[in-house]
Amino acid sequence: MSAEHLCLTGVTRIYPATEGHAAVHALGPIDLSLKPGEFFSVVGPSGCGKSTLLDVIAGLARQSAGTILFEGKPVTGEVPDGIGVVFQEDASFPWLTVFDNAAFALRRAGVPDAEVRERVRHTLAFTGLSSFAQAYPAQLSGGMRQRLCIARTLVTRPRLLLLDEPFGALDQQTRLLMGDELLKLWRETGATVLLITHSLDEAALLSDRIGVMSARPGVFIDLVETGWARERDSRLAAEAGFGVVTGRLWAALRDQSIKALAMAS
């Protein structure tokens, strides 16, 4: 394995023209390297191509140009082993209990029953869902369902975790607490994390490094190092350094957001 866990060079995505619609240059060119175990966040104006970036990295969509290397192997429109994704929408399966949802991927992969039980129990405890193991998603709150989706992904022990606005549906306080949970998970698992978020505060609190994207077609216009210690939580918000980071993010984003708004209207 090379020093970089994930390495993008000149990655571009153009949605081809369809009847009545011109082609859309949605993303790139993007150059980006993530170190193993790094917590990287992406912020950018709405519609700048953040979800497109995630799709391409995960192999859910094929890049139009450029190369993506995950653990040294190229990704081209197929999901490689070792990647976990949590989508913005609720993707919990309503026909399965919380336990069976969390066990789903392991069972399909043929992991022995005893090990499945052990790993699921551990992950549910970790995500605060133990007492709901036999409940169905319909009986959970929106935030709990999102936690279930996170649990379902974590149980597979992904080496690269991609999160697309995972806390988008939650209120600010819950977001902060979920962020702390995520940091704990990240420390315990040692996974590399790429988090897409609308919230500058969230990005500033959680990340080692933050990529600021321009209006469409999204490219990185700034990469901000936070310099936080690995042991950290949302109490960082009270520190002076926090304001410096969010200030720098907003300085980079302000013009782009104005541009994106103008483009949309």
- Residues 205-244, one symbol each (x = binds ligand ATP by CB under 6 A, - = not), give -----------x----------------------------
User: Residue 155 has which token pair?
Assistant: 């149980």
Angle at 53 between CA 47 and CA 54, to 5 degrees: 110
Give dist(CA 68, CA 65) in Å, integer.
10
Our CB check for ligand ATP shows the closer of 51 and 156 to be 51
Q: How far is the CB of 138 from ligand ATP (least distance, A)?
A: 26
Is position 156 an interface residue for another protein (rule: CB under 8 A)? yes
By a kind-dependent CB cut-off of 5 to 8 A, residue 228 interacts, out of another protein, Mg ion, ligand ATP, none, with none
| DSSP 8-state symbol, 137 | G
Residues 53-92 that bind ligand ATP (CB under 6 A): none
- Residues 27-46, one symbol each (x = binds ligand ATP by CB under 6 A, - = not), give -----------------x-x
By a kind-dependent CB cut-off of 5 to 8 A, residue 83 interacts, out of another protein, ligand ATP, Mg ion, none, with another protein
Element (H, E) at 46: none
Is position 161 an interface residue for another protein (rule: CB under 8 A)? no
Contact (CB, 8 A) for 215 and 59: no
| H-assigned helices in the chain | 50-58, 98-108, 113-126, 142-154, 172-189, 200-206, 240-264
Is position 85 an interface residue for another protein (rule: CB under 8 A)? yes
Our CB check for ligand ATP shows the closer of 244 and 258 to be 258
Q: Is 4 left (phi over 0), alpha (psi -120 to 50) or beta?
A: beta
Our CB check for Mg ion shows the closer of 51 and 146 to be 51
Give dist(CA 66, CA 28) in Å, integer.
9
User: Residue 161 has which token pair?
Assistant: 């975790």
Is position 261 an interface residue for ligand ATP (rule: CB under 6 A)? no
By a kind-dependent CB cut-off of 5 to 8 A, residue 49 interacts, out of ligand ATP, another protein, Mg ion, none, with ligand ATP
Element (H, E) at 79: none
Residue 256 vs residues 50, 119, 220: alpha-carbon distances, Å: 14, 44, 11
Is position 169 an interface residue for another protein (rule: CB under 8 A)? no
Interacting residues toward Mg ion by CB under 5 A:
51
Q: How far is the CB of 149 from another protein (least distance, A)?
A: 8
Residues 38-67 that bind another protein (CB under 8 A): 58-60
Residue 139 vs residues 20, 125, 250: alpha-carbon distances, Å: 43, 18, 39
Q: How far is the CB of 20 from ligand ATP (least distance, A)?
A: 12
Q: Which residues bind ligand ATP (CB under 6 A)?
A: 15, 24, 26, 44, 46-52, 216
